[in-house]
Amino acid sequence: MNEAPLMPGLYVVATPIGNLGDITLRALDVLKRVDLIAAEDTRVTGQLLATLGISKPLLSVREHNERQGAEKLAAKIAAGAAVAYVSDAGTPAISDPGAVLVRALREAGLPVIPVPGASAVTAALSVAGFAPGPWLFAGFLPPKQKARRDAILALKHQPAVLVFYEAPHRVRETLVDLAVTLGGERRICIARELTKQFEETACMRLDETAGWLGASAYREKGEFVLLVEGAAQAESGMADAERMLRVLAEELPASQAAKIAAKLTGRKKSELYDLLVQEHD
Ligand code: SAM
């Protein structure tokens, strides 16, 4: 590692989202060499630093005091200090404090340097298996049902994969609202407890999520990322299923064609069967 003093500035450092092994070599190096670490919660970061064997002065900079914190840090950096900013877990400013601080320092003309690493959104996307293409990070949905359904509705025709963060006590109702608002046949990947002991990622249709949650008392616990297929993929998936259905229906009775197409595409048999039958009504 480089022993030269760090250039003055704000180092925005990502920390693990569960598995301590995900701290990067560069994050360790920067945390060891900065003059001060500003943190969303000094107790949480204090524990992380103790585990990593790092001892540094800590300053609390969280949502309610980010502006004042920015003023203090700007003065220190202008005087030549290297300062790290860390949130409780993952990458600062991703559904976490950090953006206000960063903007204030940029406006003051001071250097802001990313030290990238873990984030639940990229970890979840990397194992969801959606076709490469656009995705939209929507963060946390509103806690109240009406506002939540409205927010989902506003995204209904978004072609991009939709990515949400959710807390365990709200995941059940959010999954219901997603199914009701977007339609039960859209696909979702639920990424739970990533990088931790009970990590799991399961992909299914939205109308299957209640069964999946109910299958174990532990399923509603932990931290969640919800990734929902975008409207473009849902529509092109349906178009593929329909093409397959029509080829099968030329050779087989409607119910058998629908059954095989459903198995091959993951769509609902009844939905495919209805497509064939409706034409003969
Ligand atoms: N800054 C963090 C990041 O970069 O991912 C996110 C902080 S946000 C306050 C916390 C939310 O991130 C959790 O409620 C959950 O939705 C998601 N999250 C964090 N860690 C996770 C994990 N290990 N597995 C799944 N989701 C996680």
Provide the residue type at 78 as one letter. A
Atom of ligand 1 nearest to the CA of 118: 4
Q: What is the pLDDT of residue 242?
A: 85
Q: What is the pLDDT of residue 39?
A: 98
Whether 138 lines ligand 1, by a CB cut-off of 6 Å, is no
124 vs 33: CA distance, rounded Å: 31
Tell me the CA–centroid distance for residue 17 and ligand 1, in Å. Answer: 7
Q: What is the pLDDT of residue 280?
A: 61
On the question of pLDDT at 61 being above 70, the answer is yes
Q: pLDDT band for 200, please (50, 70, 90 cuts).
A: very high
Q: What is the pLDDT of residue 3?
A: 67
Q: What is the pLDDT of residue 136?
A: 97
**Which of 127 and 245 is assigned the larger pLDDT?**
127
Q: Which of 3-7, 185-189, 245-249 has the highest mean pLDDT?
A: 185-189
Rounded average pLDDT over 67-94 = 97
Nearest partner of 206 among 172, 169, 178, judged by Cα? 178
Q: What is the pLDDT of residue 189?
A: 98
> How many H-runs (helices) and E-runs (strands) does the chain carry?
11, 10
Q: pLDDT band for 170, please (50, 70, 90 cuts).
A: very high
Tell me the CA–centroid distance for residue 113 and ligand 1, in Å. Answer: 22
149 vs 176: CA distance, rounded Å: 10
On the question of pLDDT at 281 being above 80, the answer is no
To test the ligand 1 pocket, which listed residue (17, 198, 226) has its Cβ within 8 A of the most ligand atoms? 17
79 vs 101: CA distance, rounded Å: 17
Q: What is the pLDDT of residue 276?
A: 87
Q: Please name the residue whose Cα sits nearest to atom 2 of ligand 1.
A: 90
Q: What is the pLDDT of residue 279?
A: 64
- CATH superfamily of the 121-231 domain: Tetrapyrrole methylase, C-terminal domain (3.30.950.10)
CATH class of domain segment(s) 9-118: alpha beta
Question: For the whole model, what pTM was predicted?
Answer: 0.86
Per-residue CA distances from 212 to 8, 80, 209 (Å): 50, 54, 5
Helix (H) / strand (E) containing 178:
helix 171-182
On the question of pLDDT at 118 being above 90, the answer is yes
> What's the burial of 4, exposed, middle or buried (CB within 10 Å: 0-12/13-18/19+)?
exposed
Q: What is the pLDDT of residue 2?
A: 62
- The β-bridge partners of 90 are 15
Rounded average pLDDT over 192-202 = 97
69 vs 104: CA distance, rounded Å: 10
Tell me the CA–centroid distance for residue 196 and ligand 1, in Å. Answer: 12
The residues spanned by each domain of the chain are 9-118, 121-231, 234-279
Atom of ligand 1 nearest to the CA of 124: 25
Rounded average pLDDT over 66-77 = 96
**Which of 221 and 264 is assigned the larger pLDDT?**
221
Rounded average pLDDT over 120-146 = 96
Average pLDDT score, the chain = 94
Helix (H) / strand (E) containing 121:
helix 120-128
Helix, strand, coil share of the chain (percent; to 5):
50, 20, 35
Q: pLDDT band for 45, please (50, 70, 90 cuts).
A: very high
